Amino acid sequence: MNPTESYHSLATTSLDVEAIRRDFPILQRTVNGHPLVYLDNAATSQKPQVVLDAIVGYYTSVNSNVHRGVHQLSQLSTDAFEAAREAVRRFIRASNDHEIVFTRGTTDSVNLVAGTFIPTFLGPGDEILVTEVEHHSNIVPWQIAAKRVDAVVRAVHVGQDGIVRAEQVAAELTDCTKFVAVTHVSNSLGTVNDVRSIADTVHRAGIPLLVDGAQAVPHMAVDVVALDCDFYCFSGHKMFGPTGIGVLYGKEDWLDRLPPYQGGGGMIDRVTIDGTTFGDLPHKFEAGTPDMSGAVGLQAAVEYMEHVGPDAIEAYEAELVAYTSESLKSVEGLRILGADAPKAGVFSFLVGNAHPFDTGSLLDQLGIAVRTGHHCNQPLMDRLEIPGTVRASLALYNTREDVDRLVDALNKVRVMLI
């Protein structure tokens, strides 16, 4: 099960996009009689063959439960599961593999932190600070957990560019602020926030920081130690891995201090009817049978991205973002929301007064997959005074030709809708 054997793409110094596209079987299909242009990567990315092969290989040659058996398959499965943890640690440059907790995704990771941190450290009147550009997954868990202890969730307001700035965060901190949660890259606008500056700001006030990295990890090199965040969350399915697997990175000190999130097998040290002692990190937070095949698939995705090169991905996508930005400006009546830069490959826009659903449906008839709606980001839509947008989001396998087809389709749609 060596995923590097089936790589076709070039690494590090150049990015052969046509070779990369051949690694993703679904990109060869047609939709409504047209070659697929997949521009819904912020919702979920497509999977390279190497990830699909890794999952099938696990189930056909290794499948067994982890951490429990003395037989060979169980030991091989445990080795594969823990090798995936080490691959993730290396990929985000964490200091220790026990700071990597496997979860069901970014949402599950945020819920884990909110559901353990707030009851342990917060009380009535204490505040959790989020921002208006957060995905609902980085708002709702804090609201649910805060309600249990009569704490309060407040928001940092942003301007029309959608960027969260450290000075804006600083202005909202009070003596009651006990936790800050912020996105690294906006899933609606693609704006990139200076997480390190925000971390420095909140840490000077003695406040921990959680970062939603779901939209950052697929597009740029992430170093959690350099960012100095206390928690960092992301999902496998947005970074070319399988669904149902995600990661919570937490600084060892904080993970040690937090209680278990769920109880069950695999997370215990000793159980009696009178009480239980819990296992060491990270197993304290991994109750029950984990997603072993998901972890193996995630490792394959990590190694695929490492082989291509995160720096090469970031450089290529920066050029494609610039090309897309200029190309979309040629569509009469199209309005792009958010700042031009710093920006990842997410473009939210409106075409005249046309409803986003109508625009998206017509684009689908031309083989172009985009997302429409509020993108699980209703507070931001309220801030911008719009019901939603059309969102086109890029990945490493997208090309200028994809962008040209989008622009050509939008010009056709504009005539039909306006």
CATH number reported for the structural domain that contains residue 182 in this entry: 3.40.640.10
- What is the structure's pLDDT at 10? 36
- What is the structure's pLDDT at 250? 98
Question: What are phi and psi for residue 128, nearest 5 degrees?
Answer: -110, 130
Residue 338 and residue 209 share a domain: no
Residue 316 and residue 294 share a domain: no
- What is the structure's pLDDT at 11? 37
Burial of 113 (0-12, 13-18, 19+ CB in 10 A): buried
Residue 162 and residue 94 share a domain: yes
Q: Which residues make beta-bridge pairs with 247?
A: 102, 234
Q: Which domain holds residue 35?
A: 3-47+309-417
DSSP state of 342: S
The rounded distance, in Å, linking the Cα atoms of 303 and 239 is 11
Show the CA angle centred on residue 212, arms to residues 389 and 50, nearest 5°.
Answer: 90
Single pTM value for the model: 0.95
For residue 329, give the CATH number of its domain. 3.90.1150.10
- What is the structure's pLDDT at 417? 81
The rounded distance, in Å, linking the Cα atoms of 22 and 341 is 30
- What is the structure's pLDDT at 322? 95
Residue type, 394: L
238: which residues sit within 8 A by CB, 6+ positions away?
Answer: 41, 42, 44, 45, 214, 215, 217, 218
Residue 412 and residue 295 share a domain: no
Q: Of 306, 340, 368, which residue is a domain's last?
A: 306
Residue 38 and residue 163 share a domain: no
- What is the structure's pLDDT at 418? 67
Q: Are 98 and 281 in contact (CB under 8 A)?
A: yes
How many domains in the chain? 2
Q: Are 229 and 254 in contact (CB under 8 A)?
A: no
144: which residues sit within 8 A by CB, 6+ positions away?
Answer: 114
The rounded distance, in Å, linking the Cα atoms of 392 and 336 is 11
Please report which helix (H) or strand (E) contains residue 101, including its range: strand 100-103
Residue 325 and residue 285 share a domain: no
Q: How many CB atoms lie within 10 A of CB 196?
A: 14
Q: Of 258, 277, 306, which residue is a domain's last?
A: 306
The rounded distance, in Å, linking the Cα atoms of 175 and 148 is 21
- What is the structure's pLDDT at 401? 98
Residue 319 and residue 278 share a domain: no
355: which residues sit within 8 A by CB, 6+ positions away?
Answer: none
Residue 347 and residue 282 share a domain: no
> Which residues are known to be catalytic?
376
Q: How many CB atoms lie within 10 A of CB 376?
A: 17
Show the CA angle centred on residue 138, arms to residues 268 and 247, nearest 5°.
Answer: 40
Q: Of 306, 331, 361, which residue is a domain's last?
A: 306
163: which residues sit within 8 A by CB, 6+ positions away?
Answer: 191, 193, 339, 342
Residue 206 and residue 97 share a domain: yes
Give me the residue label for tokens 């170093």.
223
pLDDT mean for each 10 residues of the chain (418 residues): 40 75 97 97 98 98 91 95 98 98 98 98 98 96 97 94 95 98 96 97 98 98 98 98 98 98 92 94 96 98 97 95 95 90 91 92 96 91 90 98 98 86
Residue 98 and residue 10 share a domain: no
The rounded distance, in Å, linking the Cα atoms of 397 and 40 is 12
Residue 266 and residue 331 share a domain: no
The rounded distance, in Å, linking the Cα atoms of 395 and 32 is 22
- What is the structure's pLDDT at 192? 96
Residue 160 and residue 42 share a domain: no
Longest dimension (CA), the chain: 72
Which residue intervals of 309-350 are DSSP H helices? 310-328
